[in-house]
């Protein structure tokens, strides 16, 4: 059963690129890697999902190495409004766990 490990917190400044890495050593062959963002007093919001290599959308990029044992969420040019908790998830319906996530604080 895949378990994820992320840094508990990160600080950045406006305009910088932020990379949050998640390790998932036991990822299964058919597992996708999904990232969510959660603001205070709101439910999590889907950001991006990938299986291998690189995925990019209007919000973020997701880099996945060939062995798929880790993944990196990249947020380009963050702003104050990107301050949130970011969750990395892998797994199937029998192992549905959100960890504590990474609390990103963007400073002016």
Residues that bind another protein (CB under 8 A): 30-32, 34, 36, 41-46, 49, 87, 89-93, 96-101
Least distance (Å) from another protein to the CB of residue 46? Answer: 4
Least distance (Å) from another protein to the CB of residue 30? Answer: 7
Burial of 104 (0-12, 13-18, 19+ CB in 10 A): buried
Least distance (Å) from another protein to the CB of residue 70? Answer: 16
Closest by CA position to 89, among listed 29, 41, 48? 48
Nearest residue (CB) to another protein, 1 versus 16: 1
Nearest residue (CB) to another protein, 66 versus 96: 96
Nearest residue (CB) to another protein, 36 versus 75: 36
Query: Rounded to an integer, what distance in angstroms lies between the CA atom of residue 15 and that of residue 60?
Result: 14
Long-range contacts of residues 39-44, Cβ cutoff 8 Å, at least 24 apart = 39/84, 44/87, 44/98
Nearest residue (CB) to another protein, 1 versus 80: 1
């Amino acid at each position: 059963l895949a378990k994820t490990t992320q840094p508990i917190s990160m600080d950045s400044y406006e305009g910088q690129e932020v990379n949050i890495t998640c390790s998932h050593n036991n990822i299964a062959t058919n597992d996708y890697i999904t990232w969510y963002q959660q603001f205070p007093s709101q439910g999590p919001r889907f950001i991006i999902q990938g299986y291998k290599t690189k995925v990019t959308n209007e919000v973020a990029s997701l880099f996945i190495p060939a062995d798929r044992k880790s993944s990196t969420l990249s947020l380009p040019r963050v702003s104050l409004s990107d301050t949130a908790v970011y969750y990395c998830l892998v797994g199937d319906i029998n192992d549905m766990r959100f960890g504590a996530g990474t609390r990103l604080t963007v400073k002016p």
